[in-house]
Amino acid sequence: MSLRIDTSRPRRVMYVVMALACAAALSACGEDDSATSEGVRSSVDVAVTSAQERVEGAASSVQSAASSAAERAGGWFDDAKLGAFVTAFRAAYPNLSADRETQSIETIVTETCPLIEDGADDAEVNAKVGELAANGSAVPTEDQAARIAQLVRVACG
C-alpha cells in the first residue's frame, strides 16, 4: 500500500494568492498616486505571509492525516499477521489447537516475539514455542516447534 501526498494543491493555493496580491499591487499603482510603494509592499507582504501560512497549515494537515492513516494501517497489518498465524496454526496443528481460544494461540506469538527481538537463539525460541503451543497432553515435537517458530517469526516481522 502506497500513501501519496498531493502537494500540488497547497502550491496552487499559494500561486493564486500571490497572483492576486500582484494584481492588487499593480492595480493600486494604476489608480492614483496616493498609494505609496511602501503601502503596496506591505499589502503584498501580508498576502504572501497569509498564503504561506495557509500552505503550511494545509501541508501540516495532510502530514497529520497521513501519519494517522499509517498508524491505523500498521495496527491492521499486525492484526492481520496475528490472524494469519492463528489460522495457519489451527489448520496445521489441529491437536494443538483443539478447544483453544484464539487469544491462547495468539499468546504463542505475543510471548515469543520479544524473545526473538532480543536475539535469542533458535533452540531457545523453539523451546518457548513448544511450551506455549502445548495443549494439555498434546505437546509439539521438536520439528513441529521449529516449524511453528518459523510461523511466529513471520508474524513478528
Q: Any alpha helices (H) in the chain, and if so which ranges?
A: 8-31, 37-92, 94-97, 102-117, 122-133, 142-156
- Residues 6 or more apart whose Cβ sits within 8 Å of residue 90: 97, 105
And the C-alpha cell for 76? 491492521
Per-residue pLDDT, 50: 61
Per residue in 10-64, pLDDT (tens digit) is 544 444 444 444 444 444 454 455 555 565 566 656 655 665 666 555 445 544 5
CA distance 81 to 76: 9
Per-residue pLDDT, 78: 85
In the chain, domain spans: 8-69, 93-156
Per residue in 55-88, pLDDT (tens digit) is 555 445 544 544 444 454 445 448 899 999 999 9
Q: Check pLDDT > 50 for residue 130.
A: yes
Q: Cβ(79)–Cβ(71) under 8 Å?
A: no
